[in-house]
């Protein structure tokens, strides 16, 4: 195997590990929120700086490979894909860190998100899309990007239901702080779904060479 | 100036000259891209045999005027054979046989009645190693036009225009009567390009024109190629895939004497449609 291919395999594995780590950070944030564990929330924030360093290291590796090998075709697409996915993963990790920092606020304000019936499904949808996204990073299954797009639709639906529920509850009470906190948190989860969609589009580009961002042609099977 | 007027007329423009006619000698094609005009080189099931062995087989491809077409492929794939077929340089090899059609400007290159002198005037060639004549810089460029009967009073201006077109004028204008072999490798190669332009060709064939040059000289030749395509059709054979990607509009990938894929260069190097092409451009074979 050529040196470039060996390095690309290593790079793909490294990105997959980054994905696992980011998904773990988000899941840990959900657990910290559920258990009202302020310390666990702070750890997620601290771990984020390590993810930031890994993001920079992966990007440097991509630049080195571009400079040293001038790759073409699938190899070039892989490096472009890694650069973009790496960036989106780091942003998801930033959201996990933000969720971790928010635990302190939830505990101090005695805000129980679990009281909203639609909170659980939204968290479940977020965990699900992250799991699928990480699986997609090192899989030859060409259908996975579309599955991730579909998972984002489900997350969007869960987000909409949760937001409606929070706003309905807010109308009945004077607890603006709880409603605002809940909506901001939900918005963060919805952003995670958007980043996962970006990643799915990048993996689709890797597989096909077609840029489907902003394109109506790239639809989930359910919409076709 | 006479030449410029003549060129402008040949190129279908006014005598005042468009930007292309002013910039470089020998402009011969109508402006326009693929689809706007006929292909200048057309191969239709073209094969060339060395004895019983096929150098290239069943090549069907069109080359469009005022474009750079790169031919890439592993050693022995037939890319130089095809290139040299276009102006019948392979005729020097005994026992060759051509089949199918190969047209330049609509004229069958392998028609027994074909005028080889006219063909090679229309289709110039630049080789791997610079090969200036052991004469002065001036005489190298003036050699072809003199044979073509260009008048002495027109010659100085024409030589200057050709050297300018080859982006060499500023470096040699004060040493026109210096021996060309005293120039650097990169300068010698640009002189050979100027010499090829001097006979007013429509097509320039380049067979690995930078393989003997250093990176700076290579960059100059590449820049020159991109500039020349405003007026000429260029077909270049190169082993350097990055060079093909940088300078060409379309790229043909040859393997074992066959044309495997021919597409826009950007597509061929980012998402080729054939697995064989992908394996080659990513270095997995070849």
Per CB-CB distance under 8 Å, the chain A contacts of B241 are: 72
pLDDT given for residue A217 in this prediction? 63
The beta-carbon neighbor of A76 closest among B270, B277, B284 is B270
Q: Determine contact: A67 vs chain B, CB below 8 A.
A: no
Q: Is pLDDT of B168 > 60?
A: yes
> Hey, what are B260's tokens?
């495997």
CA dihedral sign, ordered B71, B73, B77, B80:
positive
Does B270 sit within 8 Å of A77, measured CB to CB? Answer: yes
> In this structure, what DSSP letter does residue B201 have?
-
Helices A144-172, A176-208: inter-axial angle, 10-degree rounding: 170
Q: Is pLDDT of A141 > 90?
A: no
Does B278 sit within 8 Å of A73, measured CB to CB? Answer: yes
**pLDDT digits over A121-130, tens only?**
999 999 999 9
State the complex-level ipTM: 0.76
Residue with tokens 């007329």: B9
Enumerate residues 6+ apart whose C-beta is below 8 A from B79: B71, B72, B73, B237, B252, B254
Angle at B195 between CA B191 and CA B196, to 5 degrees: 120
pLDDT given for residue A30 in this prediction? 97
Worst-scoring range by mean pLDDT, A136-150, B17-31, B125-139, B224-238?
Answer: B17-31
Sequence-ordered alpha helix ranges (H) in B37-184: 79-86, 116-122, 137-147, 152-165, 169-172
pLDDT given for residue B33 in this prediction? 47
What CATH number does the domain containing B46 carry? Answer: 3.40.50.300
Distances (CA, A) of B3 to A149, B9, B24, B30, B151: 63, 10, 11, 17, 11
Worst-scoring range by mean pLDDT, A206-220, B22-36, B85-99?
Answer: B22-36
CA dihedral sign, ordered B162, B163, B166, B167:
negative
| Neighbour count for residue A64 (Cβ, 10 Å) | 12
Does A71 sit within 8 Å of B271, measured CB to CB? Answer: no
Does B271 sit within 8 Å of A72, measured CB to CB? Answer: no
Residue B72, domain member (yes or no) = yes
Q: Determine contact: B245 vs chain A, CB below 8 A.
A: yes
With a pLDDT cut of 70, the percent of chain A lying above it is 96
pLDDT given for residue A25 in this prediction? 97
Q: Determine contact: B244 vs chain A, CB below 8 A.
A: no
pLDDT band at A139 (very low <50, low <70, confident <90, very high): confident
Quick check: helix, strand or coil at residue B91? helix
Q: Enumerate residues 2 to 61 of chain A having a beta carbon within 8 A of any beta carbon in chain B.
A: 2, 4-5
The beta-carbon neighbor of A2 closest among B270, B281, B283 is B283
pLDDT given for residue B14 in this prediction? 31
pLDDT given for residue B8 in this prediction? 32
How would you class B102 by CB atoms within 10 Å of its CB: exposed for 0-12, middle for 13-18, buried for 19 or more?
buried
**pLDDT digits over A162-186, tens only?**
999 999 999 998 788 899 999 999 9
Using an 8 Å Cβ cutoff, are B223 and B213 in contact?
A: no
> Hey, what are B183's tokens?
């120039």
C-alpha closest to that of B30 among B69, B74, B64: B64
Q: Is pLDDT of B21 > 60?
A: no
Give the global pTM: 0.81
Q: Is pLDDT of B4 > 70?
A: no
Taking the C-alpha atoms of residue B79 and residue A173, their distance in angstroms, rounded to an integer, is 79
pLDDT given for residue B1 in this prediction? 31
Q: What is the mean pLDDT of chain A?
A: 93
Within chain A, what is the greatest distance between any pair of CA atoms? 66
| Neighbour count for residue A68 (Cβ, 10 Å) | 11
pLDDT given for residue A218 in this prediction? 66
Q: Determine contact: A71 vs chain B, CB below 8 A.
A: yes
Q: Is pLDDT of B27 > 70?
A: no
pLDDT given for residue A173 in this prediction? 86
C-alpha closest to that of B124 among B181, B54, B50, B201: B201
pLDDT given for residue A223 in this prediction? 45
Q: Determine contact: A76 vs chain B, CB below 8 A.
A: yes
pLDDT given for residue A1 in this prediction? 63
Residue B231, domain member (yes or no) = yes
pLDDT given for residue A54 in this prediction? 97
Using an 8 Å Cβ cutoff, are B286 and B79 in contact?
A: no
Residue B286, domain member (yes or no) = no
Residue with tokens 């291919």: A5
Task: Give the count of domains, chain B.
Answer: 1
Using an 8 Å Cβ cutoff, are A82 and A12 in contact?
A: yes
The beta-carbon neighbor of B281 closest among A2, A73, A208 is A73
C-alpha closest to that of A114 among A192, A182, A211: A182
pLDDT given for residue B285 in this prediction? 79
Residue B143, domain member (yes or no) = yes
Domains of chain A: 3-223 (1.20.58.220)
pLDDT given for residue B36 in this prediction? 61
Least Cα separation, residue B263 to chain A (angstroms)? 13
Q: Determine contact: B281 vs chain A, CB below 8 A.
A: yes
Residue B230, domain member (yes or no) = yes
Does A73 sit within 8 Å of B272, measured CB to CB? Answer: yes
Taking the C-alpha atoms of residue B132 and residue B195, their distance in angstroms, rounded to an integer, is 9
Does A210 sit within 8 Å of B282, measured CB to CB? Answer: no
Task: Return the half-sphere exposure (C-beta side, CA atoms, 13 A cut-off) of residue B120.
Answer: 12
> What range does the domain containing B123 cover?
2-281
Mean pLDDT score, B154-169? 95
Using an 8 Å Cβ cutoff, are B131 and B80 in contact?
A: no
Mean pLDDT score, B147-171? 94
Q: Is pLDDT of B97 > 70?
A: yes
> Which residue in chain A is spatially nearest to B266 when comparing CA positions?
A73
pLDDT band at B16 (very low <50, low <70, confident <90, very high): very low
Does A209 sit within 8 Å of B270, measured CB to CB? Answer: yes
Distances (CA, A) of B163 to B38, B128, B221: 30, 20, 13
């Amino acid at each position: 195997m050529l040196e470039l291919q060996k390095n690309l395999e290593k790079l793909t594995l490294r990105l997959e590990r980054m994905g696992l780590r980011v998904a773990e950070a988000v899941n840990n944030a959900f657990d910290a929120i559920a258990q009202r564990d302020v310390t666990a929330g702070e750890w997620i924030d601290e771990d984020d700086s390590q993810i930031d360093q890994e993001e920079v290291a992966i990007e440097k590796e991509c630049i080195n490979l571009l400079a040293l090998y001038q790759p073409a075709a699938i190899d070039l697409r892989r490096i472009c894909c890694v650069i973009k996915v790496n960036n989106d993963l780091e942003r998801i990790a930033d959201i996990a860190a933000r969720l971790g920092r928010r635990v302190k606020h939830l505990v101090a304000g005695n805000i129980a998100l679990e009281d909203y019936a639609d909170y659980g499904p939204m968290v479940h949808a977020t965990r699900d899309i992250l799991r699928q996204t990480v699986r997609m990073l090192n899989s030859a299954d060409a259908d996975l990007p579309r599955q991730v797009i579909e998972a984002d639709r489900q997350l969007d639906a869960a987000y909409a239901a949760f937001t409606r529920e929070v706003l309905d509850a807010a109308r009945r009470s004077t607890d603006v702080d709880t409603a605002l906190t809940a909506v901001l948190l939900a918005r963060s989860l919805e952003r995670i779904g958007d980043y996962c969609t970006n990643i799915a589009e990048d993996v689709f580009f890797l597989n096909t060479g077609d840029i489907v961002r902003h394109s109506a042609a790239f639809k989930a099977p359910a919409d076709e | 100036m006479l030449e410029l007027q003549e060129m402008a007329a040949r190129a279908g423009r006014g005598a005042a000259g468009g930007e292309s006619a002013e910039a470089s000698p020998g402009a011969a094609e109508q402006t326009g891209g693929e689809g706007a005009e006929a292909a200048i080189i057309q191969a239709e099931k073209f094969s060339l045999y060395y004895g019983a062995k096929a150098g290239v087989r069943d090549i069907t491809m069109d080359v469009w005027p005022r474009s750079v077409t790169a031919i890439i492929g592993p050693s022995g794939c037939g890319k130089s054979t095809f290139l040299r077929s276009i102006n019948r340089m392979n005729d020097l090899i005994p026992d060759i046989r051509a089949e199918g059609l190969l047209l330049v400007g609509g004229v069958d290159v392998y028609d027994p009645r074909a005028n080889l002198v006219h063909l090679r005037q229309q289709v110039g060639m630049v080789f791997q190693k610079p090969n200036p004549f052991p004469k002065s810089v001036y005489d190298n460029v003036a050699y072809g036009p003199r044979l073509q009967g260009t008048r002495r009073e027109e010659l100085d201006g024409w030589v200057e225009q050709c050297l300018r077109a080859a982006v060499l004028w500023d470096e040699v204008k004060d040493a026109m009567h210096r021996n060309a072999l005293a120039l650097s490798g990169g300068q010698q190669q640009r002189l050979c390009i100027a010499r090829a332009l001097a006979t007013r060709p429509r097509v320039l064939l380049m067979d690995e024109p930078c393989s003997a040059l250093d990176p700076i000289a290579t960059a100059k030749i590449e820049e020159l190629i991109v500039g020349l395509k405003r007026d000429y059709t260029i077909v270049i054979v190169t082993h350097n895939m990055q060079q093909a990607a940088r300078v060409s509009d379309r790229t043909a990938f040859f393997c074992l004497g066959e044309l495997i894929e021919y597409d826009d260069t950007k597509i061929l190097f980012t998402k080729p449609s054939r697995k064989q092409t992908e394996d080659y451009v990513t270095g997995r074979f070849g």
